[in-house]
Structure 1
Amino acid sequence: MKVWQVGPKVKRDEIVKILVDKRGLELKSIRPEKLTLKSVGIKTVAVKKAVTRIKRAIKDQETVVVYGDYDADGIGATAIMWEALHGLGVNVWPFIPHREEHGYGLSIKGIEAMIAERRPSLVVTVDNGIVAHQAAKKLVQEKIDLIITDHHQVGKKLPEAMAIIHTTQLCGAGVAWMVAKEMNPPAAQTSLDVAALGTVADMMELKGANRSLVKYGLPKLRQTDRVGLIELYQEAGLEPVTIDTYAINFLVAPRLNATGRLSHGLDSLRLLCTHDRQRAKELAQTLGQANKDRQSLLQVQLDHARLKLGVKVKQEKILVVADEAYHQGVIGLIAGKLTEEFYRPSVVLSIKGEQAKASARSIPGFNIIEAIRTAEDLVIEAGGHPMAAGFSVEVAKITALTERLRSVAEKELDEEKLQPVVRVDCEVEAKDISLGLWKELEQLAPFGVGNPRPTLALMGVTTAQARPVGGEGKHLKLRLKELPQAEAIGFNLGALLPQLTSGRRVDVAFQLNKNVWNGRERLELKIKDLRLC
Structure 2
Amino acid sequence: MSSKNVKGSNRAPAELPDFIRRLLIKRGVKDQKAIEGFLFPKLKDLPRPEKMKNLDAAAKLATRYVIEKKTIVIWGDYDVDGTTGTALLVNFFRELGVETIWHIPNRLVEGYGVNLSWFRDNNALGGNANFLLITVDCGSSNSHEISVLTESGADVIVTDHHELPGDGVPETLILNPMQQDCGFAGEKLAGVGVAFYLAAKIRSELIENSKYNQAAAAINLKNYLAFVALGTIADMVELTATNRILVRAGVETLDATPFTGLKLLLQSSGVERGDLSSEDIGFLIGPKINAAGRLGESRAVVELFTTDDLQKIKTNISLIESLNSKRKELCLADTDQAFLELEQETASDRKAIVLAGDYHLGVAGIVASRITDKYNLPVIILSRQTDSSGNCYFKGSGRSVEGIDLVASLADCSSLLIKFGGHKMAVGLTVDGRRVGEFIKRFESAVAKQFCNLQRAQIAPYDVQCSVSEVMDDESLYFLKLLEPFGTANPHPKFLDKTMNIVCAKTVGQNEEHLSVTIRGKYTNYKGIGFGLGKDIDEVQRSPTRPAVFTYTKNRYRNTVSWQVRLLTL
TM-score of the superposition, structure 2-length normalised?
0.83
Aligned length: 516
Q: Given the alignment, which residue of 160, 185, 210 partners 2:170? A: 160
**Is 2:533 the counterpart of 1:498?**
no
Q: Given the alignment, which residue of 176, 191, 212 partners 2:245? A: 212
Whether the 8 Å contact between 2:355 and 2:381 is mirrored in structure 1 is yes
1:21 maps to: 25
Q: Given the alignment, which residue of 437, 450, 457 partners 1:412? A: 450
Query: Alignment partner of 2:490: what SS?
Result: coil
CA RMSD of aligned residues (A): 3.0
- Aligned AA for 2:47? T
Q: How big is each residue's C-alpha offset from its partner over 1:249-284, in whole Å with a ceiling of 9 and x where there is no partner? A: 122122212222113311110000111122211111
The Cα of 1:453 is off from its aligned counterpart by 2.7
1:86 maps to: 94
1:8 maps to: none
**Is 2:353 the counterpart of 1:319?**
yes
Whether the 8 Å contact between 1:235 and 1:288 is mirrored in structure 2 is no
Q: Given the alignment, which residue of 8, 18, 36 partners 2:47? A: 36
Whether the 8 Å contact between 2:291 and 2:324 is mirrored in structure 1 is yes
Query: Alignment partner of 1:206: what SS?
Result: coil
The runs of 5 or more residues in structure 1 that have no matched partner are: 1-10
Q: Given the alignment, which residue of 217, 224, 228 partners 1:195? A: 228
Query: Alignment partner of 1:348: what SS?
Result: strand
1:55 maps to: 63
Q: Given the alignment, which residue of 413, 432, 436 partners 1:398? A: 436
**Is 2:481 the counterpart of 1:442?**
yes
1:350 maps to: 383
The Cα of 1:470 is off from its aligned counterpart by 2.1
Whether the 8 Å contact between 1:33 and 1:181 is mirrored in structure 2 is no
Matches within 5 A, 1:422-441: 422-429=460-467, 432-433=470-471, 434-441=473-480
2:139 maps to: 129
Give the 3 Å change call, closer, same or farther, for CA 113–333 of structure 1 in structure 2: farther
- State percent identity of aligned pairs: 28
The Cα of 1:314 is off from its aligned counterpart by 5.4
- Aligned AA for 1:138? V
Range that drifts further, 419-428 or 212-221: 419-428
Range that drifts further, 113-122 or 128-137: 113-122
**Is 2:149 the counterpart of 1:139?**
yes
Range that drifts further, 336-345 or 307-316: 307-316
Whether the 8 Å contact between 1:149 and 1:172 is mirrored in structure 2 is yes
Q: Distance in 2 between matches of 1:250 and 1:151?
A: 23
**Is 2:79 the counterpart of 1:71?**
yes
Give the 3 Å change call, closer, same or farther, for CA 364–110 of structure 1 in structure 2: farther
Give the 3 Å change call, closer, same or farther, for CA 399–33 of structure 1 in structure 2: same
The Cα of 1:91 is off from its aligned counterpart by 5.2
Query: Alignment partner of 1:27: what SS?
Result: helix
The Cα of 1:124 is off from its aligned counterpart by 0.9
1:341 maps to: 374
Q: Distance in 2 between matches of 1:280 and 1:132?
A: 33
The Cα of 1:63 is off from its aligned counterpart by 1.4
Query: Alignment partner of 2:414: what SS?
Result: coil
The Cα of 1:515 is off from its aligned counterpart by 5.9
Q: Given the alignment, which residue of 350, 359, 365 partners 2:403? A: 365
TM-score of the superposition, structure 1-length normalised?
0.88
Give the 3 Å change call, closer, same or farther, for CA 418–54 of structure 1 in structure 2: closer
Q: How big is each residue's C-alpha offset from its partner over 1:475-498, in whole Å with a ceiling of 9 and x where there is no partner? A: 123345565522332111111122
Give the 3 Å change call, closer, same or farther, for CA 50–90 of structure 1 in structure 2: farther
Q: Distance in 2 between matches of 1:273 and 1:342?
A: 41
**Is 2:484 the counterpart of 1:465?**
no
Whether the 8 Å contact between 1:343 and 1:418 is mirrored in structure 2 is no
The runs of 5 or more residues in structure 2 that have no matched partner are: 1-14, 30-34, 178-186, 205-218
Query: Alignment partner of 2:100: what SS?
Result: strand
Whether the 8 Å contact between 1:313 and 1:342 is mirrored in structure 2 is no
Query: Alignment partner of 1:191: what SS?
Result: helix
Give the 3 Å change call, closer, same or farther, for CA 441–244 of structure 1 in structure 2: closer
The Cα of 1:30 is off from its aligned counterpart by 4.3
Whether the 8 Å contact between 2:108 and 2:361 is mirrored in structure 1 is yes
